[in-house]
Amino acid sequence: MSDLRAELRGSVAPAVPQYRMLLPLGWQSYDVTADTERELLGAARTRLAQAGRPELASGLAVQVGDALRSLRAQDAFAFALAGETAPSWALGAASLVGLRRKATPQIPLDAVVEDAVRNRGGIAIGEGHRMVRWTERRPVTLEGVAAVSFLINYLIPIPGTRRTQAVQWTATVAHAADMAEDDPVLLAWVALFDHHIATFTWSTR
């Protein structure tokens, strides 16, 4: 599910070089700036007004603001969500977040990769096997119901940093607590994001 019109292009900070990546068909990308917050809230207020529920706008504004502040605190630089007509809705809801990871003396990035491969089923993907993908499952509660947050992580070293910095893309899929780890829906999500993250390239333009 590729769409050239859904190409994600990044140029966000000196520490994150320009990049290009294809998103799933119908997905939309955003940065984590105040302008994005205003854009998302404006669109949400319009939908709520059309649905006759304008009173929900203030609560939504708090949630969106908290979410973007949390992303910025994690050194995130971009996120992507499925648009209303995206074919991926057939699988359910998901999100994709890009953040910058920095090595520390306690946790070098090589150790992150080693742990992913040894303990989390991590594998190398993409051209030249330059990316590492691993998955995690975390119990969560959604609206009072036990669920699982399924995380698909991808680590890509940033050129010129001697493996001290990397871009990490994390796709998050929430699902019922009783869904098996090898359920076809989850495997389809992994295959979808493997395909699109593999298109990630550093831009020389």
Query: What three-state secondary structure class fits 72?
Result: helix
Query: What CATH number should be reported for the domain holding residue 6?
Result: 2.60.120.1690
User: What is the pLDDT averaged over residues 17-28?
Assistant: 92
| Residue 49 confidence (pLDDT) | 79
Q: Checking phi first, is residue 143 left (phi over 0); if not, alpha (psi -120 to 50) or beta?
A: left
Residues 6+ apart with CB under 8 A from 168: 98, 99, 100, 101, 153, 154, 155, 156
Rounded Cα gap, residues 31 and 136, in angstroms = 25
Per-residue pLDDT of 96-141, as tens digits, reads 999 999 998 888 899 999 999 999 999 999 877 789 999 999 998 8
| pLDDT of residue 31 exceeding 70 | yes
Is residue 41, in this structure, part of any structural domain at all?
Answer: no
User: What is the pLDDT averaged over residues 67-91?
Assistant: 89
Is residue 45, in this structure, part of any structural domain at all?
Answer: no
How many other CB atoms are found less than 10 A from the CB of residue 78?
23
Compute CA distances 88 → 2, 50, 70, 84, 153, whole Å: 11, 25, 26, 10, 18
| Residue 15 confidence (pLDDT) | 57
Is residue 25, in this structure, part of any structural domain at all?
Answer: yes
Is residue 42, in this structure, part of any structural domain at all?
Answer: no
DSSP state of 54: G
| Residue 1 confidence (pLDDT) | 35
Rounded Cα gap, residues 135 and 125, in angstroms = 13
Q: Find, among 83, 66, 5, the residue nearest to 32 by Cα.
A: 66
Rounded Cα gap, residues 130 and 12, in angstroms = 22
Domain limits for position 175: 2-32+75-202
| Residue 128 confidence (pLDDT) | 77
Is residue 70, in this structure, part of any structural domain at all?
Answer: no
Is residue 24, in this structure, part of any structural domain at all?
Answer: yes
Per-residue pLDDT of 88-103, as tens digits, reads 999 998 999 999 999 9
Residue by residue, DSSP assigns 112-145 as HHHHHHHHS--EEESGGG-EEEEEEEEEEEETTE
Is residue 48, in this structure, part of any structural domain at all?
Answer: no
Is residue 57, in this structure, part of any structural domain at all?
Answer: no
User: What is the pLDDT averaged over residues 82-86?
Assistant: 88
| pLDDT of residue 41 exceeding 50 | yes
Q: Find, among 74, 122, 128, 121, the residue nearest to 102 by Cα.
A: 74
| Residue 50 confidence (pLDDT) | 77
Per-residue pLDDT of 149-198, as tens digits, reads 999 999 999 998 888 999 999 999 999 999 999 999 999 999 999 999 99
Cα dihedral 116/120/125/128 (nearest 10): 30
pTM metric for this prediction: 0.83
Please give the tally of structural domains in the chain: 1
| pLDDT confidence tier of residue 83, bands split at 50, 70 and 90 | confident
Query: Over the chain, what is the mean pLDDT?
Result: 85
| Cβ–Cβ under 8 Å, residues 150 and 129 | no
| Residue 5 confidence (pLDDT) | 36
| pLDDT confidence tier of residue 47, bands split at 50, 70 and 90 | confident
| Residue 127 confidence (pLDDT) | 79
| Residue 3 confidence (pLDDT) | 40
